[in-house]
Amino acid sequence: MEKSLYERLGSAEGIKKLANDIAENHLKNDLIKTRFEIIEDLDAVKNLVFEFICAGTGGPQAYTGKGMLGAHKGMNISEEEFIAVIDDILKAMDENNLGEREKNEMLAIGYSLKDEIIRV
């Protein structure tokens, strides 16, 4: 039986590290860092990213956050900011030695959500 994306990302332990690295990349990215610097509880956001990735890739964890539209409504996120976030995710995946197949699947997930994130 083929492994799920969740398993190929390293299951809970691997995804926890990936979620942390994604957030850290956002804080270093000049285009979007101001959106993340103002977050009062970054650890809570990292945990929501962890849950979201786990739930969306076949893991047993439940996602307890808002839906994408609810979480991003009123933020007026630009196309450039969306691409910056995607780039940071791919960079974190490279930093965690994840393969092209996994990156392509995460990219597909990200782009499937763009209409609930960009300029809503």
Domains in the chain, start-ordered, CATH in brackets? Answer: 5-116 (1.10.490.10)
pLDDT category at 84 given cuts 50, 70, 90 is very high
Reading the block at residue 109, the tokens are 């997930």
For residue 52, the model assigns a pLDDT of 97
Reading the block at residue 87, the tokens are 């780039």
Distance CA 41, CA 43 (A): 5
Give this prediction's pTM: 0.94
Q: Which of 117, 97, 9 is nearest to 61 (CA)?
A: 9
Question: 111-117: long-range contacts (C-beta < 8 A, 24 or more apart)?
Answer: 111/86, 113/68, 114/82, 116/67, 116/68, 116/69, 116/72, 117/68, 117/72, 117/77, 117/82
For residue 74, the model assigns a pLDDT of 96
DSSP 115: G
Give residue-wise pLDDT tens across range 9-60.
999 999 999 999 999 999 999 999 999 999 999 999 999 999 999 999 999 9
Residues 59, 32: contact at Cβ < 8 Å? no
Q: If you average pLDDT over every residue of the chain, what do you get?
A: 97
* Side chain identity, residue 107: L
98-114 average pLDDT score: 97
